[in-house]
Chain A
Amino acid sequence: MSGWWIMLTGSLVAISCGILGCFLVLRRLAMVGDAISHAILPGIVIAYLLSGSRDSLVMLFGAALIGLVTVFLIQWFQNSGIPSDASIGVVFTALFSVGVILVSLYTRQIDLDLDCVLFGEIAFVPFDRLIVGSVDIGPRAFWGLLLCFLLVATIITLFYKQFKLCSFDPALAAALGIPVAFFHYVLMGLVSVTTVASFESVGAILVVGLLVVPPATAYLLTDRLHVMILLSAFIGVLSTVLGYYVAYWLDASIAGCMVAVAGVLFVLAFLFSPKHGLMGRRKRLAKRMAVTV
């Protein structure tokens, strides 16, 4: 039973990340996802200090806010002439340092295990139950992540065309009157919220894996954006389920195994994808050579 809850919760993380990650990968913002996942640490700590609990809306908003600050700072430094990778690096390492120092300073007041924030412990998910009235309706993390998934799915579905055009051709989007910056921040806000919602289960650092690896795998398998998004979510779920069993078998971190399995799936797609894989490319090249000869 608890295994089911773990896989279900993990799948919700994987689906939300899989959807958002497609836009990150296509807009070349993969490392911004990495930056956000590190940078929200001070947000989590401050919100925790203020609210005194770890599953509050304050926490969610606190971290989402820091996520947006991160994106804003990166953008600002970039506009002032610092190369994008360096701006990303400066912002997230600095914020992460602040977070680590806050944790060290208030280590007595907060019962936040840094390991747990960064790597998560999805194995504990089933034990923290949500009880409504006197009925136990399942793990708290599950409901939180379900809410997060619904938020992501609703917003992306409603504004699919805007997100698509902003990713493909921001100049045209702006010329057509679509508020490009607004949608950029909405996307990044969703990434932050998802990261916060998932940090207890898969951990902040491994969220990056689920944000990038399944979308990149899907990117090698299709030429249509909506198919890519669905595939990416599916690959995420597959990684979760397989990862769970691998972790059981190796007696090791479940979240780690989920991302490692996603990595294996990527390598398979990279080698064998008929359209964009290594083999496919070779074959097409050979065919072309044969034709020209």
Chain B
Amino acid sequence: MIEMLLYDPNVRWVVMASLLLGLSGGVLGSFAFLRKQSLMGDVLAHAALPGICIAFMLTGTRSMLWFMIGAAIAGMLATFGIGFITRHSRIKQDAALAMSLSVFFSVGVVLLTHIQHHVRGNQSGLDTFLFGQAAAMTMSDVYLLATVALILIAACALFFKEFKLISFDPEFAKGIGLPVAALEQFLMFLIVIAVIVGIQAVGVVLMAALLIIPAVTARYWTDHLGHMVVIAGAIGAFSGFSGTILSTLAHHLPTGPLTVLSATFLFALSLILSPKRGLVGKWLSRRKARMLLVASDHLEQERAFVRGGG
């Protein structure tokens, strides 16, 4: 069945694109995770809506390129807003995130409903925006998606060293003369791009998931950033692959949620089985702590005995 599907060149391309999208989501998500910005993807994905709407209103076409430009501008505005609010008032990060998410998104909903009521013809529905429909992508969308995902991965490979440093120790990075602020903006920009190409395939909420779940899952298996990025990328790629296949097999089921559930499945497995941080591993180490305690009890008694019966 799967082989048959993969003979279809269209399906092959869609699968390929989802796989690359998952891969870039996992890679970029690892850095976001380490910088404690996991929810940034969620915010950016929601914040993209008004940008997409304005792009549509200005150009009157459903061009992916214009959507990307509009969404990128909206996303950068949202990140700027979050930074500005937290720096210049007593509002904390979480509230700033939630606010820019909901306000940008509601502006998007307002624009979208306005478009739906007033503009006839070719319009992007909320459904595809929210949940994605990889099958509904045109071939040129798919090529674009694959290309962009490849560029993102290449950029991460190229700047791996720098991203590693600004994720781990921005102060030190500043000290050795790296342009930390510019690099942070650049990383954010890459995430914006990933989110925007991803919206087409898996939708808003679920693109956020692709940036979070593979990275968290990978963290269960390694303490080494290089390995983590590779594992997260692999998990993302696998999720994209299996999500698309499942969605093609079971008609009517949207790609995004299936992709996310594939990733969630791997997360759940890691949660239970990971030797160091998993439930099983934790239980073992807790038991070890108790055993050591008992052992040291004995040692204590022996020492007391040696000291003279204390």
Contacts and interface: CB of A to CB of B under 8 A. Distances in A.
Direct contact of A and B (CB under 8 A): yes
Contacts of A216: 91, 95, 99
A270 B91 CA distance: 10
B4 to A, nearest CB: 23
Interface in B86-130: 88-95, 97-99, 101-103, 105-114, 117-118, 126-127, 130
B94 A93 contact: no
Contacts of B209: 89-90, 93-94, 97
Contact of A90 (B102, B111, B130, B213): B213
A20 to B, nearest CB: 13
B33 interface: yes
A266 B260 contact: no
A54 interface: no
Contact of A104 (B108, B117, B254, B261): B254
Given A93-B212, A94-B213, A97-B257, A252 B110 contact: yes
A200 interface: no
Contacts of A220: 89-91
Interface stretch (A27-35, A43-51, A159-167): A27-35
Contacts of A212: 95, 98-99, 102
Contact of B95 (A30, A85, A97): A30
| B interface, size bucket | 35 or more
B97 A31 contact: yes
- Of B92, B126, B282, the most chain A CB neighbours within 10 A belong to B92
Contacts of B109: 119, 206, 252-253, 255-256
A115 interface: yes
Given A86-B33, A212-B98, A278-B88, A100 B212 contact: no
Contact of B91 (A92, A219, A256, A259): A219
B95 A115 contact: no
Contacts of B89: 220, 270, 276-278
A81 interface: yes
B264 A251 contact: no
B38 to A, nearest CB: 4
A97 to B, nearest CB: 4
Given A90-B216, A220-B91, A252-B113, A259 B264 contact: no
B97 A30 contact: yes
A35 B261 CA distance: 17
A250 interface: yes
B277 interface: yes
A29 B102 contact: no
Contacts of B93: 28
B256 A100 contact: yes
B206 interface: yes
Contacts of A211: 98
A81 B89 CA distance: 30
A268 B192 CA distance: 28
A80 B206 contact: no
A93 B205 contact: yes
Interface string A212-238: 110110011000000000000000000
Closest 9 CB pairs of A and B: A93-B209, A209-B102, A263-B103, A259-B106, A256-B109, A97-B257, A89-B212, A30-B98, A256-B110
Interface of A: 25, 28-31, 33-34, 38, 80-83, 85-90, 92-94, 96-98, 100-101, 104-105, 107, 114-115, 118-119, 205-206, 208-209, 211-213, 215-216, 219-220, 247, 250-253, 255-260, 262-263, 266, 270, 276-278, 281
Interface of B: 33, 36-39, 41-42, 46, 85, 88-95, 97-99, 101-103, 105-114, 117-118, 126-127, 130-131, 205-206, 208-209, 211-213, 215-216, 219, 252-254, 256-258, 260-261, 264, 267, 271, 277, 282
Given A89-B208, A89-B213, A119-B109, 10 more contacts: A28-B92, A83-B33, A86-B33, A89-B42, A93-B208, A97-B206, A209-B105, A219-B90, A253-B112, A256-B106
